[in-house]
Structure 1
Amino acid sequence: MKIGIFFGGPSREREISFAGGRTVYDNLDKALFEAVPVFVDSSGNFILLNWEFIYKGTIRDFYPPVSALPASTVPVQLYFESLGELSLEEQDSIISEVGRRLEPRELSQLIDFAFLALHGPSGEDGAIQGLLEWYGIPYSGSGILPSAFGIDKVAQKKLLKALGQPTPDFRLITAEDWDAAAPQATLDYLVRELGLPLVFKAPRQGSSIGISILREADVVQFATAIERSLFRKTVTQAEWQGLSDAQKISWLQRLVDIRDGIGLPVVLSSTDSLELLAVSSPLNEANSSAESNPKIIYRPEELLHALNERLAAAESVLLTSVEGETQVLVESFVQGREFSCIVVEDANGQPLALPPTEIVKGDEMFDYRSKYLPGLARKITPIDLPETCIQAIRDACETIFRTFGFQVYARLDGFIQADGTLFLNDPNTTSGMLPASFFFHQAAEIGLNPSQFLTYLIRTSLSARRRGGLRPVKLAALLARLDAAVAARAAGEQARIRVAVIMGGYSSERHISVESGRNIYEKLSSSVKYEPVPVFLTGSSADFRLYVLPINVMLKDNADDIREKIEHHEAGHEMHPILERIRREAQGITSTYAGPAATQPQRVTFDELAGMVDEVFIALHGRPGEDGALQQQLEQFGLPYNGSGVASSQVTINKFDTNRRLREAGLRVAEHRMAARLEWAADSESFFRGLEMQFPYPFIAKPADDGCSSAVKKIKTRAELEAFTRLIFRDQEELMPAEATTLSLGFKEEFPRKEAFLVETLIDRDGAAHFLEVTGGLLTHWGPNGELEIEIFEASEALATGEVLSLEEKFLAGEGQNITPARYATEATERQRISEEVKRELRQVAEILHIQGYARIDAFVRVRDNGAVEVLIIEVNSLPGMTPATCIFHQTALAGYTPYQFIDRILEFGKQRTAQMTLAD
């Protein structure tokens, strides 16, 4: 079957939709389905996307393409809508660089089924569902009416109230009411009616976008919350003029972020009379025929100019997103334990609630960042309650599923209070589909891996569409074909190559390692060649402990949750009775799509692992994994593995040794030295003065043997140096609050403890005409005579919004911007000349350090006025991150490798190396 995956779209959740669409694309069973990527841009154009763009980190990495971007002095990423009003021909020209436009009438000839990974308005509101029904194309999830109902929080609240279902009290504030009323009077009214705290929501948004909590009756905070939900922003003269030029750029970057800010385009108006400001621009002149027409600001530099001009005289201005909301849903705050529950149709078409997940956090809101970056909020499945309470949650969710007429699947969120009172709110007809989302996380509890779950949802959706009267004869034939193919797949399963995917560890990189490992597992599990076996490594450097994981444990939210489940099992605790009950209820599903599977972690020795698998993929980062210790163990048992060998790994794990070797070989690296705890403990003042004499502020301090931007800090003052030193040399596990504040550590940012850290000079422009940070991947092959050949990929340009590239920018879908290939020059020939020089230097690094398999090399590049190119190496990662959004997949795509093909070649290289070593022995 040809499965059209619809992803992207015009909503503020488009980045999560893009990442979710990629997850579906990768996890569809290749023996059953052919994936057809249909990217929907923010103007609603359907684009048959060239496959290589699916693996970009964000939509803005490829669309609009660089060739379509206007010249700008403001470093703010642009979406398609910031190009303004474009003709059909102009749009087609842009689309042709990433794929081709699809007319809706073409869809029925191109695809058999539409899998909808779209979110929010135009995705889960019935619009796309209606279009597909018009053309007779079956699609995933709920139909038109339940989808339209599922997007409208206000309609949902009214129905729940009418049915007597518990739901928080609420009031609506329209934009017109807000503009006309006095803020203090409105606040007093809401506090009187609903009490404190108050919850503010944008009624047609998801992913916690446009949500605020007001905990005290502060009119300024209240106005900010209302504006957040309306996607407005009042800017005062004092606020604006108090910012430096650099701070204005940072402020602008946050403002135009479609998730945390209001996005572009915007209308700028006076806050006293609400008269619209006419901003001088060719775009505005073309789009306005009368003085009364709104003057729309499309681009960041236009907005910057307008704010500077207007706020030189006016006390304040109002910015309003053209895609904002017209009302705000205000709810009373529910004090209780927060949960989320996926409900699916069972084999008989009846709702089946999967085990509800508790979202454990502090006082902070479960926001976009906490939802999608592993390790920030804990997700405990099932929620830690007595079985009767969990069953009450399931019963309530199944009732709402029936009441709202949902089909196939839905996600129900809610709270349970201490007295057992349940509040359900915000049903979603499309759940986030990232690898560790609730969607796959809960399905794993009944034994379905993502590939199997997607197959079941496609089959169930076909059945639901047929029940609804859509092309019943055609869909009956499709169902029969799919059922026969699923049965043949199960009956004729050939022996596949078994690959242990080792993930986790015990360092600050353990959560990213789990993300990498899961991605490798999912790429292999949907293939016809490999059968992956998830293995979790924990323990210590002196005692590696390996556990084969069942799928439900592998898909826990992060490494700490996985380790906790292992410890729970080893302590003798049985499976939660509710899980046993749900598994029995789901047997009609799992018997067809999954078959029998383990439900508990199993500890294994290296010897036992060698008897279970044919080879190993190490998805660990830093220590252990990249230091050669694990490789030594695997070699003892003849297990092929990915990446470099023992000796090379022992060098590249240590940034100091790596830099020293490269410098000795004549390559450029930063001035560096190790700063030891013993030296600091003996005489802290001499320790600090010594560093300051050798490294003028600002300089870089970081661990010598950790990656993933863990504790990499730009040190600008003595206070920051002292704070960094105390944190990295601390005795206790917890961070010291004062030092964490001094270093501006992010929420739940990890900071490892070490006996020494690396200090480096800050690499800067140094007068170069062009200066950029790049990261370049490589892949090695065996030549015809057994010689090692190194393939260097086009490097990516990494753009950091802060002082250093953050964890989120490297690994969180939709966060960072990696431009591939790097923009060394505007002219193509010159760009390629510089690229070849950079690749030549990166090849030298690989040769000097004896890198094998694959690797990622980070560097800065300076291009002088005379064209001279200087490459300054930062670090080498012998087992680079392999998360879905990582830029190494952007680079391999340019070279013609899909992620699966890249992983396949890595594994084949490891097998050939082991065969050569065996032959040599």
Structure 2
Amino acid sequence: MRIGIFFGGPSREREISFAGGRTVFDNLDKGLFQPVPIFVDSLGNFILLDWQFIYKGTIRDFYPPVEVLPPTLHPVQVYIESLGPLTHEQEFHAIAKVGRQVQINELPLLMDFAFLALHGPAGEDGSIQGLLEWLGIPYSGSGILPSAFGIDKVAQKRLLKATGHPTPDFRTITAAEWDTTDHAATLAYLSRELGLPLVLKAPRQGSSIGVSILKEASLEKFEAAVERSLFRKTLTRAEWRRLGEKDQLTWVQHLTDIREGIGLPVVLNDETAPIYHPETLLFTLNERFETAEEIRLTNVDGETQVLVEAFVAGREFSCIVVEDQNGQPLALPPTEIVKGTEVFDYRSKYLPGLARKVTPIDLPEADIQRIREACEEMFRTFGFQVYARLDGFVSPDGQLYLNDPNTTSGMLPASFFFHQAAEIGLNPSQFLTFLIRTSLAARHRGGLRPIKLQQLLAQLDTAVASRKNADTERIRVAVIMGGYSSERHISVESGRNIYEKLASSVKYAPVPVFLTGSAQEHKLYVLPINVMLKDNADDIKEKIEHAEAGHASHPILERIRREAGGITSTYAGQGIAAPHRISFAELGQMADEVFIALHGRPGEDGALQVELEKLGLPYNGSGVASSSVTINKFETNKRLRDAGLRVAEHRMADKLAWQADPAAFYAELEAQFPYPFIAKPADDGCSSAVKKIKTRAELEAFAELIFREQEDLLPAPAEVLHLGFKEEFPQKDAFLVETLISRDGAQHFLEITGGLLTSYDEDGQLDIEVFEASEALATGEVLSLEEKFLAGEGQNITPARYAPAPAERQRISNEVKAVLRRVAEVLDIQGYARIDAFVRVRAGGAVEVLIIEVNSLPGMTPATCIFHQTALAGYTPYQFVDRILEFGKQRQAKIG
């Protein structure tokens, strides 16, 4: 069955939609479905997207294509609406670089079913659903009317009030009222009627956009919150003039961010001519503030009213409700959101670890059942179909409030959507199959092309039954994830991604295995799907410890699994087990091969590989000897320098020397390395605790943190280094110091990351395929973990922009690739790897490549740029993973 996946769109949540569409594309069961990627751009065009662009980190990494971007003085990323009004020919030219424009009447020819991963307006509001109904294409989720209710928070509140459902009290402020009434009087009225704090929302956006909490009766903060929900911003000349030139650019970039700012295009004051491009806005503000005292910027697609709610001081939860096999609502176990801040905003929702998800919410069974029944009743009241995500609060006195139903949930791998489905035993691939089948049944009940849909249902049921019987023939791959390094959460993201790529294939049967313990003892645990899809590595470890202590699963989970038995028996075939520990010998019995998805130690250091070789188990990546070198950045740099390759000047800084005489320790480093320089762990992941050290105070703070005895961070040094929220910092006995690699007068200077893949040629010799490298752009002083690995966070341009002219760019690229190949040869890298480097291009064309580090098990998260590079070489992510596994088997066969 051909599944058209609609993703992207014009909404402010288009990046989450893009990442969710990729999740669906990857996880559709390839034995049942053929995915057809329909990217919807922010102008509303339908584009049959070339598959390689699906694996870009963000929409702006590929669209609009670089060829159609206007020249700018500042390196700002833009969406296509920032190019201003385009002619039909200009739109056609931009689209042709990434795929093919699809006319509406072509859609029925391309697909049998539409899976909607669109968010917000034009995705969840009934409009796309109406179009598909008109075309006779069955689609996922709710129909037109419930979708229209699902997007309109004000209509929702009125319906909840009318039907007697408890919901926080509310008022609305229209934009017209806001512009003509006294703001102080409005604040006083709302404070009197609803009390403080107040929650202000944009009523027709996603649940995380345009949201503020006003804790105090501050007129300034109230006006800012209303403006945030209306997607306006008022700026004074004094505020603008206080910013330096660089800060003004940063301010404009933040303002035009569709997630946290107001987006583009905007109008100034009450003018009608929009400003489309961030740079144009920057120049216009500088020009207007020559005379103006104050300017109001308004997004042309902003809101016309603000929803103001009474704040509920309670425990926040989110619950996915699905239709069971009989078309009745079935609430999955509700998840409590334990936040670091009061607002469960865009970043908290989509970045792992910023907000903790506890499933089920930690309440007595009767209270959880009360939440479930309320959510099921709300599902019926709104007429939702197939699935919905319902949010709410439990107040300290036990009062239950429901709020913000969503007819489309975020579909990232660890989102509520898959997280809760896993609790009844469905992996993402199985859950998507269930949703497609349930959606077909819902459209059939609604009378959409009944004969055709009845045939599709029968075909799918036959195929699902056949697919289950074929599962035992697949190759068993143990996917080992987790670990105990500071990159353990990224390892889990990588491991889940590999698991999902393999689980949706017809060739492999993956088994998730979690590694924990210490350097002295590696502990392996087989994970059930519900534990694998916990929010992060620490949550998984906690669930393992819970099971080892003999605690039974929550009684509400057993109840829900019984209720969902008809679903799981059809799509999963087996119940949920507890995580259980296995030995390496047992691993050898249960797996045909291993995919190591660990980062840092253990995993990249050769220790795990030793154990696997004893068992004769094929594995991915380099062998023991090479891994034991590349994990050590100091030893790696030394070997590369000895081989004539360029590396930074470097040395180790030892804890014993620091303890003996800190002043002498600092002075010796300063004598060899002028500020600024780089300090980082020598044997950890590529982004863990990598800091640009600019002063003696920062050097002292770095040493105090990395040499500390206690596990918790030391607050004062952490503040000096500006450590981010929940940023980890390992404890080590030594750290690596390197000179800061700079432009050094080069005409062009950029940071790159290049991937490679090895295979055996016909003569059995190792062949190294080096991919086109990606240019990595950091928002801070060094690339963060989030920028490297998480969807929508980093900016990676693939292929790297070595030169404007194509022929010259390719010449430089070939020289860079030759150096990366030489690195692989010197270090005996096998399987695959990622090499980070800086590239200088001199005025005369000379190319200098300075190696930073080598990762023998690079991150394999959905957004990592190695997938951008392999796509350019013609490999889908699954094909790349398959090649890695095949090489491991061939290498093991050669060893004998």
* TM-score for both structures, normalised by structure 1: 0.96
1:615-648 per-residue CA deviation (whole Å, 9 max, x = no partner) reads 0000000011000000011111111100000111
Contact 1:13 1:207 in 2 (8 A): no
Q: Residue 492 of structure 2 aligns to a residue in which SS? A: helix
Q: Offset of 1:395 from its aligned partner?
A: 0.2
Map of 2:188 onto structure 1 = 188
Q: Which residue of 1 aligns with 2:859?
A: 881
Give the match for residue 709 of structure 2.
Answer: 731
Post-superposition shift, 1:739? Answer: 2.0
Question: Is 685-694 or 772-781 further displaced after alignment?
Answer: 685-694
Give the deviation of 1:805 after TM superposition: 1.1
2: CA distance between counterparts of 1:584 and 1:319? 54
Counterpart amino acid of residue 334 in structure 2: P
**Cα distance between partner residues in 2 of 1:129 and 1:834:** 49
Task: Name 2:830's counterpart in structure 1.
Answer: 852
Superposition map of 1:286-365 within 5 A: 294-365=272-343
Whether contact under 8 Å (1:373, 1:812) holds in the other structure is: yes
Separation (CA, whole Å) in 2 of partners of 1:97 and 1:110: 20
SS in structure 2 at match of 1:296: coil
Paired residue for 1:71? Answer: 71
CA distance in 1, matches of 2:769, 2:212: 49
SS at match of 2:473: coil
Take 1:5 and 1:208, find their aligned partners in 2: how far apart are those partners? 23
Given residue 137 of structure 1, which amino acid in structure 2 is its aligned partner? I
Post-superposition Cα deviations, 1:441-469, rounded to whole Å, max 9, x if no partner, equal: 00000010111100010000000001111
Q: Could you tell me how far apart the structure 1 residues matched to 2:245 and 2:399 are? A: 52
Q: Which amino acid aligns with 2:837?
A: A
1:490 Cα offset (Å)? 1.8
461-470 or 249-258, which moves further after superposition?
249-258
Contact 2:686/2:855, CA 8 A, preserved across alignment = no
1:666 aligned residue (633, 644, 661): 644
1:316 is displaced (CA, Å) by 2.1
Partner of 1:81: 81
Instruction: Please list every run of 5 or more consecutive structure 2 residues that lacks an aligned counterpart in the other structure.
Output: none
Opposite residue 896 of structure 1, the aligned amino acid is G
What SS does the corresponding residue of 1:419 show, helix, strand or coil? coil
Pairing 1:485–2:479 present: no
Partner secondary structure for residue 528 of structure 1: coil
**Which residue in the other structure is 1:869 paired with?**
847
Structure 1 portions without partners, runs of 5+: 270-274, 277-293
Range 347-356 or range 192-201, more displaced? 192-201
Aligned to 1:281: none
Question: Superposition pairs for residues 270-669 of structure 1, below 5 Å?
Answer: 275-276=270-271, 294-669=272-647
Question: Per-residue displacement from partner, 1:497-518 (whole Å, max 9, x unpaired)?
Answer: 0000000001110000000000
Partners of 2:167 and 2:401 within 8 A in 1 = yes
Measured in 2, the distance between the counterparts of 1:581 and 1:435 equals 25
Matched residue, 2:804: 826
Q: Compute the displacement of 1:598 (Å).
A: 4.0
Native 8 Å contact 1:552 1:599 kept in 2: no
- Correspondences of 1:100-139 after superposition (within 5 Å): 100-139=100-139
Alignment partner of 1:774 out of 742, 752, 771: 752
Moved more, 23-32 or 799-808: 799-808
Cα distance in 1, alignment partners of residues 786 and 605 from structure 2: 25
**In 2: Cα distance, 1:156 partner to 1:618 partner:** 47
Per-residue deviation, 1:492:
3.8
Report the alpha carbon displacement of residue 364 of structure 1 after superposing the two structures with TM.
3.9
Deviation, structure 1 residue 597: 3.6
User: 2:234 matched to 1:256?
Assistant: no
Q: 2:157 is matched by which residue type in structure 1?
A: K
**1:737 Cα shift?**
2.4
Aligned to 1:42: 42
Secondary structure at the aligned position of 2:307 is classed as strand
Aligned equivalent of 1:704: 682
Deviations 1:179-215 (A, max 9, x none): 2223222222211111111111111111511111111
Q: Aligned partners of 1:722 and 1:333: how far apart in 2?
A: 44
SS in structure 1 of the partner of residue 674 of structure 2:
coil
Q: Contact 2:568–2:575 at 8 Å: present in 1 too?
A: no
Distance 1:320 1:657 in 2: 55
Kindly provide the amino acid, as one letter, of the partner of residue 855 in structure 1: A
Structure 1: how far apart are the matches of 2:703 and 2:238? 38
- Is the CA contact 2:207–2:404 (under 8 Å) kept in the aligned structure 1? no
Q: Conserved in 1, the CA contact under 8 Å of 2:677 and 2:692? A: yes
* Alignment match, 1:147: 147
Greater CA deviation, 581-590 or 164-173?
A: 164-173
How has the CA–CA distance of structure 1 residues 708 and 238 changed in structure 2, closer, same or farther, with 3 Å as cutoff?
farther
**Mapped pair 1:234 → 2:234:** yes
Q: CA deviation at 1:871?
A: 0.7
CA distance, structure 2, for counterparts of residue 116 and residue 848 of structure 1: 48
Equivalent position SS for 2:422? helix
Q: Is the 8 A contact 2:187 2:217 kept in 1?
A: yes
Check 1:183–1:733 CA distance in 2 against 1; reply closer, same or farther (3 A cut): farther
Q: Which moved more, 1:495-504 or 1:758-767?
A: 758-767
Matched residue of 1:297: which SS?
coil
Amino acid at match of 1:640: P
Letter in 1 for 2:92: D
Report the aligned-residue RMSD.
1.1
Mean Cα deviation higher: 304-313 or 581-590? 304-313
How far apart are residue 419 of structure 1 and its match? 2.1
Matched residue, 1:909: 887
The one-letter amino acid paired with 2:692 is: K
Determine the C-alpha separation between the residues in 1 that align with 2:673 and 2:788: 27
Question: What is residue 92 of structure 1 aligned with on the other side?
Answer: 92
**Paired residue for 1:753?**
731
Give the structure-2-normalised TM-score: 0.99
Q: Aligned equivalents of 1:21 and 1:337: distance in 2?
A: 31
Deviation at 1:310, TM superposition (A): 1.4
CA distance in 1, matches of 2:248, 2:676: 22
Structure 1 stretches of 4+ with a deviation exceeding 4 A read none
The more displaced of 337-346 and 812-821 is 812-821
Q: For the structure 1 residues 315 and 168, does the alpha-carbon distance in structure 2 shift closer, same or farther, using more than 3 Å as the test?
A: same
2:46–2:101 CA contact under 8 A, matched in 1: yes
How far, CA to CA, are the matches of 1:418 and 1:233 in structure 2?
Answer: 36
Q: Give the corresponding residue for 1:900.
A: 878
User: In structure 2, how many angstroms separate the alpha carbons of the residues matched to 1:364 and 1:578?
Assistant: 28
Q: What's 2:22 paired with?
A: 22
Tell me which amino acid in the other structure corresponds to 1:466.
H
In structure 1, distance between residues paired with 2:607 and 2:136: 57
Aligned to 2:719: 741
> How many angstroms apart in 1 are the aligned matches of 2:545 and 2:790?
28
Amino acid at match of 2:67: S
- Give the Å deviation of 1:89: 1.5
The worse-fitting range, judged by mean Cα deviation, of 725-734 and 586-595 is 725-734
Amino acid at match of 1:569: A
1:309 deviates by 1.2
Matches of 2:342 and 2:681 in 1, distance apart?
Answer: 29
Q: Deviation digits for residues 285-329 of structure 1, max 9, x if unmatched?
A: xxxxxxxxx121111211110111112332221111112111111
SS in 2 for 1:821: coil
C-alpha separation in 2, matches of 1:416 and 1:230: 29
Query: Are 1:708 and 1:810, in contact at CA under 8 Å, matched by a contact in 2?
Result: no
Deviation of 1:372 (Å):
1.3
1:214 partner letter: L
Equivalent residue, structure 2, for 1:244: 244
Q: Deviations over 1:854-898 (max 9, x none)?
A: 000011111111111111111111000000010000000000000
Q: How many residues align?
A: 896
Looking at structure 2, the residues matched to 364 and 150 of structure 1 have their Cα atoms a distance apart, in angstroms, of 24
